Amino acid sequence: MSPIMVQAISGFTSIATGFSGLIAQHFSKSKGRPQMIFIVQSIATICLFLIATYPPIWVLIIVFIIHGSLMNASQPLSRSILMDFVPKKKEENGTH
């Protein structure tokens, strides 16, 4: 692959991460944050197994973008759960 193609894949992965994060956030309101994290990470893991089967290059690229975006999509949900347990005083001061 050319460097331009690799950068394009990286760019599409970043865009897909943003959209999948928004979608995960939307569904977390009805399903719950921990459940959505589990679902998103499970689908991303399935994609990782699909990558290991050496599919045709165009399928590989699509699955790679889906995998990358879903692995990162649950980070905001994880952080919001973590912030539920951080006392407000610690949040405001920025101390640990």
pLDDT of residue 61 exceeding 80, the answer is: yes
State pLDDT tens for residues 14-57.
999 999 999 999 999 999 999 999 999 999 999 999 999 988 99
65 occurs within a structural domain: yes
Say if 31 falls within a structural domain: yes
pTM of full prediction above 0.75: yes
Q: Please give the single-letter amino acid code of residue 14.
A: S
Compute, in degrees rounded to 10, the torsion defined by CA atoms 29, 72, 39, 5.
120
Asked if 64 and 9 touch (Cβ cutoff 8 Å), the reply is yes
84 alpha carbon, distance to own chain's centre: 20
Angstrom CA distances, 47 to 24, 53, 93, stand at 17, 10, 40
Specify whether the CB–CB gap between 41 and 70 falls below 8 A.
Answer: yes
Residue 48 is assigned to a structural domain of this protein = yes
* Percentage of the chain modeled with pLDDT above 90: 73
Position 95 in a domain: no
Residue 55 falls inside a structural domain: yes
> pLDDT band at 88, cuts 50/70/90?
confident
Domain that holds residue 66: 3-88
Distance separating alpha carbons of residues 82 and 51, to the nearest angstrom:
31
What's the confidence (pLDDT) of residue 85?
A: 85
Asked if the structure places residue 44 within a domain, the reply is yes
The total number of structural domains in the chain stands at 1
